[in-house]
Structure 1
Amino acid sequence: MIIEEVEKLLNDYTRWLKDKTILKQVGKDWVEITTPHLDRHNDCLQIYARKEGNGFVLTDDGYIITDLVNSGCPLESPKRQELLKTTLAGFGVQIDRDQLVVHATPDNFSLKKHNIIQAMLAVNDLFFLASPYVASLFVEDVTNWLELSDIRYTPNVKFTGKSGYDHMFNFVIPKSRKQPERIVQALSNPKKDAAEALVFKWLDTRETRAADSQLFAFLNDSNVSVSHSVIDALKNYALEPVLWSQREQAKERLAA
């Protein structure tokens, strides 16, 4: 893919973010920011900003954690708490009484806004299937499979993209004599919006990695089938979609 086409895609994405973002004054101190990013209910994610000294505080007002708990996904277990804190730490996001919070300056406001939105999406996706009907988290399943398959990896790696935004990936498998660097992302809810967000992360990040780096997207098809349009969209941008039910087909390439 030529660089001009990638540049246009990134510019189109940035323009879409700006055009679809809506601001609303809430009370005296807060501004509600409605973004075009969708949660698992297909509702637009919202964050709230308030002036604090010479900077700003941004919060989700407790929406993500409260929604998960109300949907039957308790987060009290030490393992889930550890996973939650590790995920948030990767984006520089704190948790305060169930609220996701970041502090920003005028200079890094856009970056911090990006980080808290990405953290909301990541936490939402991590626990999407963690309900009374599902025994484990999908990312845990992928972790266990990598370890049982003797595939070495580094978890929760953050890369800075060409845009200057940070992007978190679940696993990175280092380069070997036989294979290039392989980045692995687990999508527990592999719908169109999740695929588009992953494509942007990869396009923004790819130029900062080795030219032959590859990204494998593990798609959870345990309970529902994955749309062919999602698979085709990932392939069109040089990602490697791997259905969870067919994971053994990728084992040799990841283990080498």
Structure 2
Amino acid sequence: MDTDMDTNQLLNDYMSWLRDQYTIKKIDQADEVTTPFLNMIGDNMRLYVERLSDSKLRLSDDGTTLENLLLYGINLNSPMRKQIMKETTYRYNVDLFDDVLSVTGTSANFPLMKQNLLAAMVTINDLSITKKTNIERLFFDEVFTFMQDQDFGGLPQYQISGKSGVDYIIDYTIPPKEKKPMRLINFQNRISFNQVVVNAYQYRDIATRSHKIASDISYAIIYNNSEGSVTKRAEQIARDAHISLLSWSDKSHILELK
């Protein structure tokens, strides 16, 4: 019994401490509530409480969550991130309209409304530090989206066989057009010497199927330079294998693949 009472007191102390971390400031027709939760740049997250009627409230982030992500350089138009935001707003019963996260309900439901809105804000803010297991998927998704938007006219996940009989899946393949050969393009979120060597072997195996194929294809790797740079050893391997290494930030050279 004493242990239970101690735990209850600890919880009470925590709730008292947590309440002290919130500050309220009157702004026009709403109250600005500064929370102890931090966004990706270390600023305290804020939510806004607006009274719609005697018993109805609207809580929102005033668009700051998505705005901060955009300022941080996060592409929110990728299908993967859109799906994450859709799942998050559904899970917490939060509306997303005109880039504003909000919940509307009665005053009696304020605690749950506040909890759900903050949970959605924190989860969506974490897109800035996406789990490593998703980063590669997000990078691939961004490249695919870019190529689709720029009308590259290629085929994703194209299968092609090498001289050895091994089938390879190429991330993006652009068929030959006019004087341009077939362009085989692989994506690498984290470029490394080992990956360049593997791609060099793959390209050689495909290209040596016949002399005709060797002269009718080119090979490129688009890599995420925000995750790392190419070593001199890797550059030499790529050069010897006639593989183009294109950083994701160098859109002008990527567009030349069209």
TM-score where L is the length of structure 2: 0.47
Higher helix content, 1 or 2: 2
Larger radius of gyration: 2
TM-score where L is the length of structure 1: 0.48
